[in-house]
Amino acid sequence: MAVDANATSSGSRPAYHLATELVHIDSDAVKDNYNAASVPIYQTATFKQHSADGAGGDYDYSRSGNPTRTAVEVHMAKIMTAERAFVVSTGMTALDVILRLVKSGQEVIAGDDLYGGTNRLLTYVSQFNGVKVHNVDTTEVDRVVEKLDPIKTRLVLLESPTNPMIKIADIRTIASKVHEICPSALVVVDNTMMSPYLQNTLAMGVDIEYHSGTKYLSGHHDLMAGVIGCRTKEVGDLLYFVINASGSGLGPLDSWLLLRGVKTLGIRMEKQQSNAILIANFLEAQGLKVHFPGLESHPQYELHKSLSSGPGAVLSFETGDVGLSERIVESARLWGISVSFGCVNSLISMPCKMSHASIPAEVRKQRHLPEDLIRLCVGIEHPEDLISDLTQALETAGVPVKKNN
């Protein structure tokens, strides 16, 4: 079940479910004299003008804007219920653009369980840009509130669920508290793990939501992209200035690939999520410690249900032994050993050795990130095949498996 898309209707147009909105591109997003069924790829760097002063044209240079990029930005704004959306070269570029809104001397409050690349970029801005970064447990609202400073706090950065420990932040309450105590601060959520199909953070009072479009939005790991959606025009103008000035906007071919991928987000996410629920239950039945918000054993099961319409398709589990975890990962056949998630094929990894290896070991220890943790990113394969492969991987590694009669 996806988030309600009634807010996407306008004028006299009927309100459609989000699964429908994902598939249909607004016809006025791009002017096309030939009524192409697919948005054209405007593979051009520059556009001819009609007058010496260059005035009058919708586009002049693709760094500033391109019709194919406009089409995907308008589409993403619709499905994110954003005032304005932007697409840039990568998910980390999206965060870099957002962090350009933070000045030297200002502060950022972020979680203590973050994607490794996010931690790396926050470390950079703290070391070279004069920005103070506070890492706190965002599952506890009070830990966020006690770091808020009405003068210095500029950004509160959340992941929910977090990567890779799958912790949940009370997004609504945190956004409300931040805006009450620090009216000039921006609440930002990396919503990659859920996608707009399962969770709409802008509707919860968040100022900026961003995604790695490389993950669920594209769905096939054949492009790099980042997506930013904002709640107000004022914030949108600030973000566009940075994107235009830095030249970080997504190219036309990748914009077209992203637009094509988004159309199948609904059907992919439903299948991946249903697979993930079966796999999480299987692993928990083996006595393993499983982190997944679709399990009632998750400490924030009810909170996540109040924020999202589903648990998603990423989970992690602990074995208690690094060597055992390595053997499980290397014994998998269907599960590809790879970083990233959101692809149609299933992936397996050990975050501390791959996606989060850039976080120093002592910092991982301080943040209680288990070295033996295995992350599963569930794809669209038949669930019996995925569970069968996990079974043989566990058994090969020396874990006795309880099988259903």
Question: How many other CB atoms are found less than 10 A from the CB of residue 79?
Answer: 24
Amino acid at position 397, single letter: A
Residues for the chain: how many in total? 405
Give the Cα separation of 98 and 101 in Å (integer): 6
Catalytic residue among 61, 63, 149, 367: 63
Residue 197 known to be catalytic: no
DSSP state of 169: -
Runs of H (alpha helix) within 129-210: 141-145, 171-181, 195-198
Beta-sheet pairing, 132-136 with 153-159: unpaired
Residues pairing with 157 in the sheet: 110, 188
What's the token pair of residue 283?
């692993």
Question: How many other CB atoms are found less than 10 A from the CB of residue 236?
Answer: 20
Catalytic residue among 132, 147, 154, 215: 215
Residue 301 known to be catalytic: no
Catalytic residue among 42, 115, 197, 240: 115
By the 8 A CB rule, do 305 and 323 touch? no
Catalytic residue among 112, 190, 207, 389: 190
Give the Cα separation of 225 and 94 in Å (integer): 9
Residue 215 known to be catalytic: yes
Residue 190 known to be catalytic: yes
Whether residue 67 is preceded by a cis peptide bond, meaning omega within 30 degrees of 0, is no
What are the backbone angles phi and psi of residue 154, rounded to the nearest 5°? -110, -35
DSSP state of 64: T
By the 8 A CB rule, do 228 and 98 touch? yes
Amino acid at position 267, single letter: I
Amino acid at position 396, single letter: T
Instruction: Report, as residue numbers or ranges, the catalytic residues.
Output: 63, 115, 190, 215
